[in-house]
């Protein structure tokens, strides 16, 4: 499994759960039983966590009609889409020596600057 970003690592056992589910569903639709076995949890625990994952706009996951299996409800989960986050106001940042000089950042030395020291 791929390494998670540093800011997403914490002590919670289900850290990054929605991303891990989306990664598994990117390979194709899976049943709750298959995914719960992958995450080493019961089907009931998995369904409880997935209730929160079905909401949201960045990753859209759809569940099929419920199927009763061994006293639990099983769903087939499908990844509909993962949305790229795009800035609504894209601006190019141009940084050059000239732009710094125009702002006075280059060329102007602080009053306490001593080149001989």
pLDDT in single tens digits along all 117 residues of the chain = 566 555 555 666 677 788 888 888 888 999 999 999 998 999 888 888 888 888 877 788 888 888 888 888 899 999 887 666 666 666 666 677 777 777 765 555 555 555 665
Q: How many CA atoms lie within 13 A of 15 on its CB side?
A: 11
Residue 32 exposed, middle or buried by CB count within 10 Å (0-12, 13-18, 19+): buried
């Amino acid at each position: 499994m791929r390494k998670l970003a540093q800011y997403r690592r914490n002590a919670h056992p289900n850290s990054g759960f929605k991303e891990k589910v989306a990664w598994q569903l990117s390979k194709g639709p899976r049943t709750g039983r298959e995914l719960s076995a992958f995450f080493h949890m019961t089907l009931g625990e998995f369904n409880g966590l997935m209730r929160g994952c079905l909401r949201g706009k960045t990753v859209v996951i759809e569940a099929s009609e419920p199927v009763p299996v061994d006293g639990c409800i099983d769903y087939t989960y499908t990844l509909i889409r993962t949305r790229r986050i795009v800035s609504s106001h894209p601006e190019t940042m141009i940084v050059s020596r000239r732009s710094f000089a125009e702002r006075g950042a280059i060329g102007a030395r602080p009053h306490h600057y001593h080149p001989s020291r």
